[in-house]
Each structure stands twice: as C-alpha cells, then as structure tokens.
Amino acid sequence: MKKTALTIFIALIMIQLSLNGYCQKPGDEQDQILVAAESIFKAMKKKDYPKIWALLTNASKNIIVDDIIKEESKRGGGQYSREVINNDFKAGGGLATVYWSNYLAVFNPDIVLEQSKWQMGKVARGKAVIVIKHQKSDRPAELQVFRENGAWKVGLEETFRPSRR
C-alpha cells in the first residue's frame, strides 16, 4: 500500500513539474540550434573573434586553416603550422583579426540578424537547417548547424562556401 501511494505521489509531482515547465519541452533543441546560429552572427557584429571560432564546426575550422596554409605557401611563407593558426584563432590573435576583418568587409551580419526572416528547417541525426530569407532576396539561404561534442555549431563554410568541382 505504501509503495502504491509513493508511486502515485511521485507521478503527481512529475506531472506538476511538467506543467510548470521544469521538464524538457519539445522546442528546447530547436531553441538551442537557433541560439547557436544567432550567437555567431552577434559575435561577428561585435567582432568577438574567439567566440566566432568557438561556435564554428570543426569542418569549417579545418577549411579556414587549410585556406590560410595554402595562401601562405603561395606567398613563399609556410611559417604557420595548423596548431599555431588554430591557437591564434582561439585567442583572437593577429591572423584571426586579419581573416575576420576581411570576411566582415564583405559580409554584414546585420543582413542576417535584422533584415532576414528565420525559419526552422529539418532537424535529424545531429544536423539542422535554418532557412534564412533576406527581405530583398528571392532565394533563401539554408544555414547548416551540426551537433558536435554535445553543442550545436554553425557550419559557416559548409553553408556558404562555393562548391569547387
């Protein structure tokens, strides 16, 4: 009898907590995805280069590092290792400042933050799509966001890099 009463009591508490919003809601994952995406564009606006780097997927980071190494080798340089470049971007050092300053000279994050409508797309198997439609564009962008090490990361290069066939 005591076990039955205890089971009913626990069930009632769980129902009450659920009704009060303490249990996970279905939209929580979508909220995390949207916050991760919005955060990277806000970091761009603030020129918070270490935060931008932290919010990128590993694939985007690798592409950026590869591009810097290729550009350096064209110039006869090659003094930067992958580790040095990665650490510089983590810290928001000189290479990161030059890279992101050039990036932001042609990309205005306000276009995404203030002049576009966002709509949650498909979410499946650690990958999500956010459909971003600029008010003056006929075609929306499909921002790719990936779950890595328990956090949602923005696939900036996966989304915007032109295919190189």
Task: Return the pLDDT at 163.
Answer: 62
Q: What is the CATH number of domain 28-159?
A: 3.10.450
Collapse the DSSP code of 156 into the 3-class scheme (helix H, G, I; strand E, B; otherwise coil) and give the result. helix
Task: Return the pLDDT at 161.
Answer: 82
Report the interhelical angle of 58-74 vs 82-91 (nearest 10°).
120
Q: Where are the domains of the chain?
A: 28-159
**C-beta neighbour count of 96 within 10 angstroms:** 21
pLDDT by position in tens, the chain (length 165): 544 443 344 433 444 444 444 343 445 899 999 999 999 999 999 999 999 999 999 999 999 999 999 988 887 777 789 999 999 999 999 999 999 999 999 999 999 999 999 999 999 999 999 999 998 888 999 999 999 999 999 999 999 887 654
Of residues 53, 11, 45, 36, the one with CA closest to residue 150: 36
Q: What is the pTM of this model?
A: 0.79
How far apart CA 96 and CA 61 sit, in angstroms, is 12
Task: Return the pLDDT at 76.
Answer: 76
How far lies 109's CA from each of 41, 93, 101, 150, 156, in Å? 5, 21, 12, 26, 12
Task: Return the pLDDT at 15.
Answer: 43
